Amino acid sequence: MPVPADPSATSRDFTPLRGLPGRDAIEIVDQTRLPHDWVTLRIASADAAAAAIRTMQVRGAPLIGACAAYGFALALRTDAGNAALAAAHALLLSTRPTAVNLRWALDRCLRLVLPLPVSARADAAWREADAIAAEDAALNLAIGHHGLPLIEQLAQQRTPVQIMTHCNAGALATLGLGTATAPIYLAHRAGVPVHVWVSETRPRLQGARLTTWELRAHGVPHTLIVDDAGAALMRQRRVDIVLVGADRVAANGDVCNKIGTYAKALAARDNGVSFYAAVPSPTIDWTLADGDGIPIEERDAEEVLSPALGAAMIAPAGTAVANPAFDVTPARLITGLITELGICPPGGLRPLFCT
């Protein structure tokens, strides 16, 4: 049954997805119902997992990857033959094109089970999905510890530290503390005064609906702003640092993230504000030299024309709509990438991970 989505009534370290003990289903939080209702759903098939990803009941690059891995494992409980493996992989991969974690998780599971006897594949795939989930929590924590000194150093100059973020790269998008939010949560827990500017993130309003909900749950001071207010706040010297997540990062450090990220990076550069992206290694696409090759998901016009469920249309009927869900921020605009191995300049990914 739906319950009021009061963060004070929910675990501080809530998780939006968990595998159930019988290995026959997962439980997800329906993120389309937040912030008004905390609704959990039982997902017991690859088809249901694919639908949850496609409709954004499950969203956020790391969480999509984990959900797809569990969906793959669920498919193998019915049929673990080679044809079924390929079909489950293709079904789940087709759900959303931009976040590379989806393919990474599915390819990882497929590689693991292919050499195994058919009878052993379903359990092995489930264990691998569990491992992906646990690793994501650990990656989040490592990113948090590497990003924390950035906030602590700023706190020596001014408090509270004024942080701007975009979309939701938090606990609801991952299996842990989030990526961009992990340094914020660790700073808050350590007693470092922080304040977060949360851009609403049109058209699906992940900042307004999800990030504000999360920050309230963690007790972090924050203020919601319309997307285009970010540049003005930077010009007024009211922002110390911008922290965002990533859905896919090219080998040269170009960052693909929610639409509107590029605009914030441009404003940050013009106003001398540091701009960092939190990047766990599964989000790096080593096959792409730069961000020009990243596929940008084009979503339904209805999201723009009627951003609130059941709300009246905000433009005349028949208005043409473009709804790219992501944009690419060039590496030249990025101060640094916060990874589980440390912080590096955008061009420093290969030396950090491949030496």
Task: Provide the CA 314 distance to its chain's centre, in angstroms.
Answer: 28
How far apart (Å, rounded) are the C-alpha atoms in residues 87 and 33? 30
Q: By 3-state DSSP, what share of the chain in percent is helix, strand and coil, each rounded to 5?
A: 45, 15, 40
How far apart (Å, rounded) are the C-alpha atoms in residues 264 and 193? 23
Amino acid letter, residue 43: I
Q: Which long-range contacts link 297-300 to residues 24+ away (Cβ below 8 Å)? A: 297/96, 297/97, 297/98, 297/324, 297/325, 297/326, 298/322, 298/323, 298/324, 298/325, 299/323, 299/324, 299/325
How far apart (Å, rounded) are the C-alpha atoms in residues 199 and 337? 21
Block residue for tokens 């609801």: 172
Q: What are the CA-CA distances from residue 42 to residues 18, 69, 81, 97, 126 (Å)?
A: 10, 16, 25, 24, 16
Contact (CB, 8 A) for 97 and 54: no
How far apart (Å, rounded) are the C-alpha atoms in residues 108 and 96? 18
Distance separating the N- and C-terminal Cα atoms of the chain:
51
Question: What residues are labeled active site?
Answer: 247
How far apart (Å, rounded) are the C-alpha atoms in residues 331 and 52? 32
Residues 6+ apart with CB under 8 A from 219: 188
Degrees, nearest 5: CA angle 319-321-324: 175
Tell me, letter by letter, the H, E, C secondary structure of 182-242: HHHHHHHHCCCCEEEEEECCCCCCHHHHHHHHHHHHHCCCEEEECCCHHHHHHHCCCCCEE
